Amino acid sequence: MADADLLDYDDVIATYDPVMGMEVHVELSTETKMFCGCANRFGAEPNTLVCPVCLGLPGALPVLNAAAVESAIRIGLALNCDIAPWGRFARKNYFYPDQPKNYQISQYDEPIAVDGYLDVPLEDGTTWRVEIERAHMEEDTGKLTHLGSDTGRIAGATTSLADFNRAGVPLVEIVTRPIEGAGERAPEIARAYVTALRDLLRALGVSDVRMDQGSMRCDSNVSLKLKGATEFGTRTETKNVNSLKSVEVAVRYEMRRQAAVLGSGGTVTQETRHFHEDGHTTGGRSKETAQDYRYFPEPDLEPVAPPAELVEQLRGTIPELPWLSRRRIQEEWGISDEVMRDLVNAGVVELVAATVAQGASSESARAWWGNFLVQKANETEVSVADLAITPTQVAAVVKLVDDGKLSNKLARQVVEGVLAGEGEPEQVMNDRGLVVVRDDSLIQAAIDEALAAQPDIADKIRGGKVQAAGAIVGAVMKATKGQADAARVRELVIAACS
């Protein structure tokens, strides 16, 4: 659609009120799939993680994964939902080649969690309450790869490949109630909600929530009504918006497109739409209704009836909301929003906090994780959390520096030793012989040598040009393999020249 077919955003807002609804699918990071013992793992060779159950072979029977149910309950509790004491799975019948059984096991009118809310933090420091209609369990489909078309989509493809590794992976779908009253902030609020949900799910440890890998997927529903009208307009559902930025872009685009349609006397078609990377959406299939799926209770599975004690026990495992703990941590550390944002983006807030809990100052802990270790992680292409060093070990290094046993330079070598698997910091320090030289007479000898080797510089210092001392300090540090205390060397150099 050309830009001419989009109304200016300001004009949309002047005339219409947007209503949104977010449907987020999240793949649970359980060891095994939802109804069979196949490994639940991303990126394996196609069709290596399959069995008769997840391939839908005749006679195979599903067995419910208890760990997936516990994750679903924890998600429901974290979203302030009521947990259903009893509920059945349902068969959602439809044919599609990524779905070997020709039905998906889902929950229909008896979801595990209902009636919750999430208080979403916005950029300006305020909070927006998004009401949660339900969170339900279901299984993922397989994955189709279409070859031969320019777009990678099925239209124009000459070959399609099916990989069933993902078939039967546990999913939780989280559906909001209609989000009303957001006005011009609708796109921002949509993005903030999905961001908050991602951070919450990550803090719960139930999913790796990678939108880029599809372990978290968002469909955004949008409709417009005339300002002040009570009845909702017709909605479109934009599918598989695959980044946080795209959530915002997709909502804004649909608002502008629908306003143009309505403004020219047309009607919005209820349909699913496909999101494109460049930010526009195109029409997909017209939306099927619940009747089309011929839902009925799944006869091969027992109802899910979590005991109240289990629910209460799981309630005890729900962590503080991550943005609230971040705010508290930020205050404790006394750092600016920007510094905090850098730490969040680097993914090191929890690591720094754990290092501080082991006795390090927040300043030193931040410096290690936020600079040196992030850099090491980038060099070796692993995430910082996966580096072969723990917060306890970083805290031990900080202590060695604070105690004057290591200079910063030596400390970096110790950390490198730990990363290389040479053992605990103290052991690396001893094995590598990395100890600060405290003996002034040793340093003095190196200074005398350096002054003799660079007489012109020695003269400059003697003549009062103290800045020139740097060259001598550098030479001494080199001669002592970085084991001298640079500040002490400088003192001694100046003393020697005065």
- 132-171 binders of ligand ADP (CB under 6 A): 133
Nearest residue (CB) to ligand ADP, 149 versus 195:
195
- Nearest-Å Rg of the Cα atoms of the chain is 30
- Residue range at the interface with Zn ion (CB under 5 A); choices 33-41, 112-120, 137-145, 199-207: 33-41
Backbone phi and psi for residue 334, each to the nearest 5 degrees, phi listed first = 60, 45
DSSP 44-102: PSTTSS--TTTTT-TT------HHHHHHHHHHHHHTTPEEPSSB--EEEE---TT-TTS
Residue 54 touches which member of ligand ADP, Mg ion, Zn ion, none, C-beta under 5-8 Å by kind = Zn ion
- CA dist 24 to 185, 331, 371, Å? 20, 32, 34
CB 233, min distance to ligand ADP, A:
6
- Neighbouring CB atoms inside 10 A of 497's CB total 21
Given strand 296-297, what is the order of strands in its sheet? 103-106, 90-93, 296-297
CB 194, min distance to Mg ion, A:
15
User: Which tokens is 480 given?
Assistant: 């002592």
- CA dist 455 to 91, 185, 205, 487, 494, Å? 88, 69, 63, 22, 14
CB 156, min distance to Zn ion, A:
33
| Residue appearing with tokens 């950029």 | 123
Residue among 280, 256, 282, 257 nearest 271 (CA): 282
- CA dist 279 to 6, 248, 250, 397, Å? 13, 10, 6, 47
Residue 51 touches which member of Mg ion, ligand ADP, Zn ion, none, C-beta under 5-8 Å by kind = Zn ion
- 185-244 binders of ligand ADP (CB under 6 A): 221-223, 232, 235, 237
Residue 223 touches which member of Zn ion, Mg ion, ligand ADP, none, C-beta under 5-8 Å by kind = ligand ADP
Amino acid identity at 462: R
How far apart CA 46 and CA 141 sit, in angstroms, is 14
- Residue range at the interface with Zn ion (CB under 5 A); choices 44-52, 302-310, 362-370, 439-447: 44-52
Nearest residue (CB) to ligand ADP, 49 versus 218:
218
Each residue of 111-135: b (16+ CB within 10 Å) or e? bbbbebebebbeeeeeebebebbbb
- 281-340 binders of Zn ion (CB under 5 A): none
Nearest residue (CB) to ligand ADP, 232 versus 295:
232
- 51-110 binders of Zn ion (CB under 5 A): 51, 53-54
- Residue range at the interface with Mg ion (CB under 5 A); choices 23-31, 78-86, 160-168, 200-208: 23-31
Nearest residue (CB) to ligand ADP, 239 versus 326:
239
- Residue range at the interface with Zn ion (CB under 5 A); choices 38-46, 62-70, 96-104, 458-466: 38-46
Nearest residue (CB) to ligand ADP, 207 versus 272:
272
Helix, strand or coil, per DSSP, at residue 160: strand
How far apart CA 367 and CA 39 sit, in angstroms, is 39
Residue 207 touches which member of Mg ion, ligand ADP, Zn ion, none, C-beta under 5-8 Å by kind = none
Nearest residue (CB) to Zn ion, 30 versus 258:
30
Residue 395 touches which member of Zn ion, ligand ADP, Mg ion, none, C-beta under 5-8 Å by kind = none
Residue 446 touches which member of Zn ion, Mg ion, ligand ADP, none, C-beta under 5-8 Å by kind = none
| Residue appearing with tokens 């099925």 | 154
- Residue range at the interface with Mg ion (CB under 5 A); choices 15-23, 130-138, 360-368, 393-401: 15-23
User: Which tokens is 104 given?
Assistant: 């998906």
DSSP 364-428: HHHHIIIIIIHHHHHHHTS-GGGSS--HHHHHHHHHHHHTTSS-HHHHHHHHHHHHTT--SHHHH
Specify the DSSP element, H or E, that contains 181: none
Residue 447 touches which member of Mg ion, Zn ion, ligand ADP, none, C-beta under 5-8 Å by kind = none
Nearest residue (CB) to ligand ADP, 234 versus 390:
234
How far apart CA 252 and CA 8 sit, in angstroms, is 10
Residue 38 touches which member of Mg ion, ligand ADP, Zn ion, none, C-beta under 5-8 Å by kind = Zn ion
- Residue range at the interface with Mg ion (CB under 5 A); choices 21-29, 142-150, 312-320, 482-490: 21-29
CB 196, min distance to Mg ion, A:
20
Exactly one of 6, 13, 20, 36 binds Zn ion (CB under 5 A); which one? 36
- Footprint on this chain of Zn ion (rule: CB under 5 A): 36, 38, 51, 53-54
- Footprint on this chain of ligand ADP (rule: CB under 6 A): 19-23, 133, 175-178, 221-223, 232, 235, 237
- Footprint on this chain of Mg ion (rule: CB under 5 A): 23
